[in-house]
Amino acid sequence: MKTKAPVSKNERLDVTIADLTYQGMGVAKVDDFPLFIENALPGEEITIQVTKVQSHYGFARAISWQTESADRVKDVDKTYRQTGIAPLQHLAYPAQLTFKQHQIKELFSKAHQDVDVAETLGMANPTQYRNKAQVPVRMIKGQLETGFYRQHSHELIPLTDFYIQDPAIDEAIVKVRDLLRQFEIPAYNEISDKGVIRNIMVRRGYYSHEMMIVLISRQQKLPSQDQLVDQIHKALPEVTSIVLNVNAKKTNVIMGNVTRTLYGKPTIEDTLMGLTFAISARSFYQVNPQQTEKLYQMAIDKAGLTGAETVIDAYCGIGTISLALAKHAKQVYGVDIVPEAIEDAKVNAQKNHLTNVDFFVDKAEDQMIQWQASGIKPDVVVVDPPRKGLAETLIASTAKMGPKKVVYVSCNPATLVRDVARFQELGYEIDGPIQPVDQFPQTPHVESVTVLVKK
């Protein structure tokens, strides 16, 4: 028998916020029925209006506050919340760090696991940290605009200051936008599938200050292409690479498969952990280099290398962790599914004169099975998977190889909890506290390092 929700749409209620969800929304309960409310913090007493009712939960918006949390930040720009750029900006930074620690502890606790979670490692300046921007370009009232989509929509909100991005990148986007307007190059229209420029991507080296501009276009060649390129590198002296990426498909995927260098080099360089990396338009490189150094140093320290070990780095990308590990290990094997990333990784190994590392293109789970079959016996396996976590086959083949340690760098606590349980079934246990690292201040995302040892 279907039970009726205790609230109805448009109903106004006075509630007390009990908690935050992992997306950073406030939670209030009415007869154990949860309502999710944006811009609401634990402990606040609020008048809300119900906006949507599902069978087991609902959504509401805050109308007025009777009491406010001591952790509430005043004078925030609501645009950053509407676009999802900084959904936690209304929560004081020390409280954001506690929220992230609590989030990991809570998820393990729901899985009946009592784990020790250390305090989150934060940043001195938790804004202006991103070294990469991907912004949509659209026509609004006949003028080309750059900005960000309103959450859950394709309505572009024009923006020139992105708050969590390197200010030099914000400035570059405005200059490129103005030149596109000057040369009358039309923005893409996703409804008619007409127009030219879909997105602008900018990457900037945190240490090197080298800048790459990527113009993502529906066409193989831009109108006034040579003049535009000439004007971009004149307007932006840091630019060492201008790249055209062609995406002619009617799709939400940002980048296409064709990439051409229009000016300078196909890559920019930056340093991380004292190593030099070449970064191409499509390669994965951590967007917060200051925190990445803390995260990777933590992973290396926890691996406890003496120089005699064989290490596997699954999901190696352009070799950032692999090469840092190679300085402390006997031999490192890295695998990634993206061919360009592995090409970059091999170049990066040469750049840094590291010969004790081999890179392979494959799905991590398939390569692990091959390595296991060929008798490779790693002492340590490092995994840094995407949000969906590890494939069961990867966990199984890792356990069969029997490394003494697995160092799990996670960007999603929910899949971390699931994967740790699978490792525990195969004879591994958590060693020491889990260490959260705040890679994405002002957002609910949290990275962490967990060490698993063979019993």
* Same domain, yes or no: 405 and 261: no
Statement to judge: residues 257 and 318 lie in one domain = no
72, 106, 124 — which closes off a domain?
72
Are 346 and 302 found together in one domain? yes
What was the pLDDT predicted at 356?
98
Which CATH number belongs to the domain containing residue 258 in this structure?
A: 2.40.50.1070
Q: How much is the pLDDT for 372?
A: 87
Measured between alpha carbons, how far is residue 292 from residues 44, 118, 405, 411 in Å? 34, 17, 21, 12
Do 185 and 305 lie in a common domain?
Answer: no
CATH code: domain of residue 308: 3.40.50.150
Distance between CA 369 and CA 398 in Å, rounded? 8
Distances (CA, A) of 120 to 70, 155, 320: 20, 35, 22
Q: Which domain holds residue 324?
A: 288-454
Please check whether residues 222 and 324 belong to one and the same domain: no
pTM of the model: 0.91
Domain contains 125: no
CATH of the domain at 59: 2.40.50.140
Looking at residue 11, its pLDDT comes to 95
Amino acid 2: pLDDT: 58
My answer on whether 339 and 383 are in the same domain is yes
pLDDT tens readout for residues 129-155: 999 999 999 999 999 999 999 988 889
Residues 450 and 312 in one domain: yes
Dihedral (CA of 355, 359, 364, 370) sign: negative
- For residue 406, tell me if it sits in a domain: yes
Instruction: Give the count of alpha carbons within 13 A of 425, CB side only.
Output: 9
Pick out the chain residues at pLDDT < 50. none
- Residue 83 covered by a domain: no
Residue numbers annotated as active site: 411
Q: Identify the pLDDT of residue 441.
A: 97
Q: Answer yes or no: is 449 within a domain.
A: yes
- The structural domain count of the chain equals 3
Q: Is residue 418 part of a domain?
A: yes
Residues 195 and 159 in one domain: yes
Please, how many CA atoms are within 13 Å of residue 443, restricted to the half-sphere of its CB? Answer: 22
